[in-house]
Amino acid sequence: IATGSKSNKFGWEGENLNGVTGLYSKQDLENLENLSPNCKRAVIVGGGLAGLTAGIHLSKIGIAVTIIEKNEFPKHKVCGEYISNEVLPYLNWLDIDISTLEPTNITQLEFSTIDKSINIDLPLGGFGISRYTLDEFLYQKAMSNGCVIIKDKVENIIFENDEFTVETTDNI
């Protein structure tokens, strides 16, 4: 599984096989879950929000998960730091209680310029939370779910004899 805010393709052998997927939405994860009823292990390349959430999801349904991330946790990253409340039922299903982080409740959006502003009520509302805080929280949750997290860079993924081999910089 290659995760991120957009679908990732790296030119690795086997990346277009059934059950091998890029992942950046909950629907992608549900599709993967449906494709892999006999899956016992998953390797996730990328430990950002999508990768950590995928790891938590898959570990919750009994799949052993290894996440390979090239950066340290937690990390500061430019991000909107807004999450819609529509995701709360899914987070609850994952046993993630965001309220313990005391996020800021957001019910309005304001656009402003030097001399004008427009205020809009957000029908679903949402919450604001630091990306750094959320990364650390999801990292700790993934670890407590039994996910193995490796800090390394994936150099290649090889598919041979119906088996994937993940090559990393440090040969882990």
Cβ atoms of residues 77 and 157 within 8 Å: no
- pTM (predicted TM-score): 0.82
Q: Which residue has the tokens 């807004």?
A: 82
Residue 31: the pLDDT is 72
Cβ atoms of residues 137 and 75 within 8 Å: no
Tell me what the mean pLDDT of segment 16-37 comes to. 68
Residues 88-122, buried b or exposed e (16+ Cβ, 10 A)?
Answer: beebeebebebeeeebeebeeeeeeeeeeeeeeee
Q: Which residue has the tokens 């949402």?
A: 126
Q: Which of 115-119, 137-141, 155-159 has the lowest mean pLDDT?
A: 155-159
Residues 161-170, buried b or exposed e (16+ Cβ, 10 A)?
Answer: eeebebebee
Tell me what the mean pLDDT of segment 106-123 comes to. 94
Share of the chain above pLDDT 70, in %: 81
Output the average pLDDT for the chain: 85
Share of the chain above pLDDT 90, in %: 51
- In sign, the C-alpha dihedral spanning 122, 123, 124, 125 is positive
Residue 23: the pLDDT is 65
Residue 4: the pLDDT is 53
Label residue 156 by pLDDT band (50, 70, 90): confident
Task: Name the H helices within 99-165.
Answer: 131-144
Residue 65: the pLDDT is 95
Residue 72: the pLDDT is 85
Residue 76: the pLDDT is 77
